[in-house]
Amino acid sequence: MKLVEVPKDVIGFYAKEHEYLVAELEARVQETRKLELAVIGGAPAIWAWLATHSKEISSANIVWPWWIPFFLAVLAGVRCWMLFKNIKRKSVYIKELEKILRGDGPLQGWRNHRASVGKKSVTTSAIVLWTLLILLTGLLPFMAIKP
């Protein structure tokens, strides 16, 4: 399939745009990883502190602190979901840029290649991770709060 001929100055613009968008995608992916690590590390830290101070907390009849990790997991999960939606939108555009930049070359660009061979494992693992985090952080308060 012959692609539309694009002027060289436009190709230069597309190449810079491609470079910028790829860097932005990498930053968004890093942000999702940082959120995952923050919740995976933060929830147990909060629970450990609550467990060591459980006498004071239970004597005051305060139960809401046990729910803090759950709400953090929900908020971080929603943020990651929004980041993944943003990543997906930009990836679709980058695929189109890669088609233009490759011209008639044999390579199809990394995102086009990944799309052709399948890349669901990252999305699936993120969905599984956030589902488990939210479920676990939502269940522990029920086990920790004694009537």
Q: What's the DSSP call for residue 105?
A: -
> Could you read off the pLDDT of 33-66 as tens digits, one per residue?
999 999 999 999 999 999 898 888 777 778 888 8
Residue 120: pLDDT over 80: no
What is the chain's mean pLDDT, rounded?
83
Q: Provide, rounded to the nearest whole percent, the portion of the chain with pLDDT above 70.
A: 81
CA within 13 Å, CB half, 28: 19
> Could you read off the pLDDT of 121-133 as tens digits, one per residue?
677 888 899 999 9
Residue 139: pLDDT over 80: yes
Residue carrying the six token digits 């709400």: 71
Q: What are the domain boundaries of the chain?
A: 8-144
Which pLDDT band holds residue 82 (cuts at 50, 70, 90)? Answer: very high
